[in-house]
């Protein structure tokens, strides 16, 4: 598909500098883009490329000052990165709209229902009383167990497994290989040293505008619901245990794990490979640095790091002191020698 600079500017509410008829049919990084491609400049460290790139159209920030002329048509916007992301989203929507209908072979239970403009890929399985909203895409080899509900405009990528009774909201994206609603890790220790499985009879509820990366696992609740609230973004390879609650617009990076019944507030940022124990609370706006081990609750807005995790600023000061230990050891030995010398002179 071909778009002109004028058409793109209209989509992202931008102002054109240069040829409004300049056309593009694909996207490219500013350092590599060729003729007929659209690029953007948001990071100042890539500024030099704007004067050498072959891109036909470039999105830039309103306040960016050119140091020399450029060949490309420019579109000035408030936030170039966000505008570029918006365009990519629209492009993806257009491409996905081409998919519709039910491919064969697939299994759809007689009691399952789905809305308009739905795509169900080959070898997908829809169990009894499954409900799928309008414009939702269920890609090949996906499994939706009995009584699963999926809202409008969702994307269920290949190989996703959604166990029975789980509820998925609108505009949710779940990437390949992720498992929603597997049993929580509940075992009661017995007198003979064995463990008795505790049945997990709850479900998982994922609210609107959530995105979950590939090969993540979100366990169903023992009783009640494991809850992922609206706007939360979970990276690949994340473990969310039973009865966890994750707040609105919280972001969790890859390989992090959250233990059972922990409550995470709104707008929390959790770095990669962080581990969070069960039955604690992370307040709104809290920040957990990568590879931190969180063993107790965190107050709203507080940043922590380390294992066990503690105050981020205090941790940095401790690290600075630690790096100076060899120098401090040397000074202590010099002081000890000086003291010994002074004592000897007194005698």
Known catalytic residues are 242
Angle subtended by helix axes 325-346 and 312-323, to nearest 10 = 60
| Per-residue three-class SS string for the chain | CCEEHHHHHHHHCCEEECCCCCEECEECCCCCCCCCEEEEECCHHHHHHHHCCCCCEEEEECCCCCCCCCCCEEEEECCHHHHHHHHHHHHHHHHHHCCCEECCCCEECCCCEECCCCEECCCCEECCCCEECCCCEECCCCEECCCCEECCCCEECCCCEECCCCEECCCCEECCCCEEEECCCCEEECCCCCEEECCCCCEEEECCCCEECCCCEEECCCCCEEEECCCCEECCCCEECCCCEECCCCEECCCCEECCCCEECCCCEECCCCEECCCCEECCCCEECCCCEECCCECCCCEEECCCCEEHHHHHHHHHHHHCHHHHHHHHHHHHHHHHHHHHHHC
**C-alpha–C-alpha distance, residues 222 and 236, integer Å:** 24
Dihedral of CA 170/77/253/267: which sign? negative
């Amino acid at each position: 598909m071909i778009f002109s600079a004028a058409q793109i500017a209209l989509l992202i509410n931008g102002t054109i500098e240069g040829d409004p008829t300049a056309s593009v049919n694909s996207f490219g990084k500013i350092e590599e883009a060729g003729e007929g491609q659209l690029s953007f400049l948001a990071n100042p460290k890539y500024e030099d490329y704007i004067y050498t790139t072959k891109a036909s159209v470039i999105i830039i920030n309103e306040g960016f000052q050119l140091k020399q002329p450029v060949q490309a048509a420019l579109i000035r916007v408030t936030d170039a990165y966000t505008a570029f992301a918006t365009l990519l989203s629209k492009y993806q929507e257009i491409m996905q709209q081409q998919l519709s209908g039910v491919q064969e072979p697939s299994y759809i239970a007689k009691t399952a229902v789905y809305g308009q403009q739905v795509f169900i890929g080959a070898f997908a399985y829809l169990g009894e009383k499954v409900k799928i909203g309008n414009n939702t895409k269920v890609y090949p080899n996906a499994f939706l167990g009995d009584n699963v509900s999926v809202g409008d405009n969702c994307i269920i990528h290949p190989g996703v497994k959604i166990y029975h009774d789980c509820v998925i909201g609108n505009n949710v994206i779940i990437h390949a290989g992720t498992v929603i609603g597997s049993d929580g890790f509940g075992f009661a220790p017995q007198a003979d040293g064995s463990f008795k499985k505790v049945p997990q009879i709850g479900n998982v509820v994922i609210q609107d505008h959530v995105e979950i990366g590939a090969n993540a696992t979100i366990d169903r609740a023992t009783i009640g619901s494991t809850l992922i609230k609206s706007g939360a973004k979970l990276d690949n390879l994340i473990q969310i245990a039973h009865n966890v609650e994750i707040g609105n617009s919280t972001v969790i990076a890859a390989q992090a794990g959250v233990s059972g019944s922990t409550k995470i507030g709104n707008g929390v940022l959790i770095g990669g490979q962080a581990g969070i124990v069960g039955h604690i609370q992370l307040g709104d706006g809290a920040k957990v640095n990568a590879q931190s081990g969180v063993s107790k609750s965190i107050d709203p807005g507080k940043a922590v790091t380390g294992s066990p995790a503690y105050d981020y600023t205090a941790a940095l000061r401790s690290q600075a002191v630690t790096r100076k230990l060899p120098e401090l050891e040397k000074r202590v030995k010099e002081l000890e020698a000086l003291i010994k010398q002074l004592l000897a002179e007194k005698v």
